[in-house]
Chains A and B, each alone.
Chain A
Amino acid sequence: MTDWEVVIGLEIHAQLATKSKIFSGSATAYGAPPNTQASLVDLAYPGVLPVLNAEAVRMAVKFGLSIGAEVARRSVFARKNYFYPDLPKGYQISQYELPVVKKGKLSVMLDDGAVKIVGVTRAHLEEDAGKSLHEGLAHASGIDLNRAGTPLLEIVSEPDMRSAKEAVAYMKKVHTLVRYLEICDGNMQEGSFRCDANVSVRPRGRDKFGTRAEIKNLNSFRFVEKAINYEVARQIELLESGGTVVQETRLYDSDKDETRSMRSKEEANDYRYFPDPDLLPVQIDESLVDEVRATLPELPDEKAARFARDLGLSTYDAGVLSASRELGAYFEEAAALVGGKTGHGAAHAKLAANWVMGELSSALNRDNVEITASRVTAAQLSGLLARIVDQTISGKIAKEVFEAMWSEGKSADAIIQAKGLKQITDSGAIEGVIDAVIAANPKQLADYRSGKDKLFGFFVGQVMKATEGKANPAQLNELLKRKLGGGAQDA
């Protein structure tokens, strides 16, 4: 049996968040009625000419700087020629030989916490095509050119990924980055962030790459993983049964979870790239690069490093909490406020991290709410955490309080007050309850004392039940142990 190595490279298309298109003044808003955001330039009327949107260039530069890439001082737009109804000019304006962004790299954290460096070959600017609509039209196809001319940054990776999971981790990292940079809204359902995956396999140890297939237009992380896994299995099966992989473009069918051939290399277009004579070469001078550099935010890796260094988070937690600017900001605010309220500084950052990654994230996911619209604000969460720290409530009760905060939108204190959830820390009061429980369960007491240690939990449960869970667990344990063992004392 051959040991196969998987080789994956991704071409990610990130739609740039400019207000207008890359070569015309039309708006780029998603979801407008068909062809209402298509000007004569987008419709490729005779005589019209493209004019480059400088904002798109700035965004590309920003991306380049964030991956430590060299920004090309001179970059050229080229025409990629092919006929398709949703491509009005009969060519796409893209970049070929001289892209805006040259080689760079990204560090990607894998599931096991290991960090992998993935090379970025280049990133170039291009315009998106329109959409062909075949549904709901009898004997006809519709064309919506609203999307035609929308700016895209195509980010091409080196073939550095060795599994579907690595590919997804890399794609997520790029997704994080473009949102940090505020150059792409990252909305995958609307197609603002999508990728093509180049997949091949080779016997482990061999230098030469196997023949690759390109899977087009994957618009969710899940599909990327499933499509690659399907494709890897298909190629291995093909090779092991004596077949050969042909170079081709394939489409992933998410309903059937399979990839299907779209066109072979022989059927591929000869795109006849050549420099677009309607557009001058783009000159990017040092001052523009410096200007853009000054607008760079704290990048995800920098933020994660700071969380680990200054707040003592684990690498994993720091990575999760820096995955989006908004999540990081929420966490930082909550952690700082807990620190302020309890006087413990960064000491309770770990508590805040656990809660943001735990209860808060599950509530957000469950109700499909963005962190920026969270029903429990960072300030409110910090109020809850402060009550855990000062032992007003137990961690367990806190979960109940959190749920109430989430649904009622009130502060932790208000809910603790209203529901009487304050933890019982008065030893006398706890002892009273313990005595009552012991008195009510003489048989269990006798059994426990005769060696059935497991019954300790029974007594804990009974006391908690009697106090509605409010007894301080540590105190309860200690007192209960003493009381249950008390028989010896009496004797």
Chain B
Amino acid sequence: MKIGITCGGIGPYASGAFIRASAKAAEQAGFAHYWMPDHVVQFAAYPESTYPYAEGSGQELPEQSAEAPLQFGDDTYANVDPRNPLIDPVMGMAWAAAATSSLEVGTNVLILPQRNPVVLAKELATLDSFSKGRILLGVGVGWAKEEFVATGADFSVRGKRTDEAIAAMRALWNQPVSSFAGAFDSFSNAYSYPKPCRKGGVPVLIGGESKPAMRRVARLGDGWLPYNLPVDRAAGVIAELKAMTRDAGRDPAALRIIKIVYSNAGLDELRRYRDAGVTEFNMASSGELPTDETGIEAKFGQWRDRIVGPVAEL
């Protein structure tokens, strides 16, 4: 099986030098994808919102060294300091794609209803064409109302807006001359070129484990990016997702299901995820990567032997 990595884009890992070096090291180590997060702005507190990922991946959290370059919190929001740099994911993907040649580069997840789909479609099509079809768009509807207020997007319609944005982008990616009429976005006879290199457009994968997120996968996603999905529940939930997908008249076997795991995941656990229907993994590293090139390469060398190699055998 394939495994990707989430390690760049925040705090000491947000620099161009780190993203370039780690994306190259990830490619050399055999990781299949490289994922970037998204928070266009951050706040010191989120009194109007509930952080939905406080339970993490469903695994036990790996221990974090007190000297790890990036310290994660454990309560309402995983990032301790709102002044921590957090890259724009489209720029981060472009930078990582420019430094590599075979690795897929994705967002996990980009908050879709905070962006204009016509502009985003063009950005991603340009990047997919530059990188010869290596872009993945992982999307979420967002959870932080404070961000929506700042960006002027209506938090209460974020789900509808997300569905429509996906349809609007696909119209721009797939139609020679694009027209779309929706509640939020409409255009007629617009030409948006370049088209993505990948046939059908940039794959759209959905993050989140809520029922609406799963329905979104079933109705219109190219895949799912589950995070908080404990291994003992995986088979049941994925069977449900597949049934929902069939009910929507689509083929569940075509879905990419990429599970986020920590670096302490055991092979036995990964096998159980595989048997449950997970098709790939994404390893979320825990802020312990060194930031110098030698240290980065050494760590990725370890991961190649300890994780990428064994997962490839699965």
Partners in one complex: no
A residues near B, CB below 8 A?
none
